[in-house]
Structure 1
Amino acid sequence: MTETNPQSLFEVLGEEAGIRRLVDDFYAVMDAESFAAGIRALHPAVLDGSRDKFFWFLCGWSGGPDHYIERYGHPRLRARHLPFAIATPERDQWLACMQQALARQSWPDAVKEKLLESFFGTADWMRNQPG
């Protein structure tokens, strides 16, 4: 990245291939780790649709193609997650899965830290239950 040719976050993450790796690693952790049982239970038995939606969302969120918006309109993240009971334990499980998925990526630590910070803010905002 240079000042004359700054890269978007989408480019820094390796574009669609890099984002797909992150999403696949995230759901692999969620599916395999017992600590994530609560958050995993909020998802369908087969994760393919969840993987695609998260991938499509992150592409647009990071400055790439707006795949999610093209398919579903504005993400309205909180509204779309209101049917699911999300409290601090679910937030923390989601973040722990993401932290492990980020650790598997070859991106610079500073990029991973900024992503986790951003994901924390969003995950915390998604809480809709006390506790």
Structure 2
Amino acid sequence: MTAELPTDRLYTEDHEWVLVTSAGDLDTDRPVRIGITRLAAENLGELVYLDLPEVGASVTVGEACGEVESTKTVSELFPPVSGRVAEINQTAVDDPAIVSADPYGRGWLFTVAPTTPGELLSAADYAEKNGING
């Protein structure tokens, strides 16, 4: 496992992450932070624009809720959990380069008060599926 792939979150096959509790469980009692993986950020290239869902909007697993635009392409965001958006990271919207520089820290995208998780992978499973080794 590479140090660049935090084990305190769960991952999707679409390269998004959701921060979970220290027990490794999804906490439906408080909003969870969501972002994209370093692998996704590196594959996208220089990020120039984020289109994130609005605070209060409902998001559903499997349904696009926003976009990440780079100098090379546009990629849709798929939430790892269903629920209501509680907060967006305005700092990342104002400066999308933060997402590439620190995707697991300051580059988070939005938070969701979760109701239902999607199919989530552990860090080890995500790393194995994507050829990430350390």
Query: Normalising by structure 2, what TM-score?
Result: 0.25
More strand by share: 2
Q: For the pair shown, which has the larger CA radius of gyration, 1 or 2?
A: 1
Query: Normalising by structure 1, what TM-score?
Result: 0.26
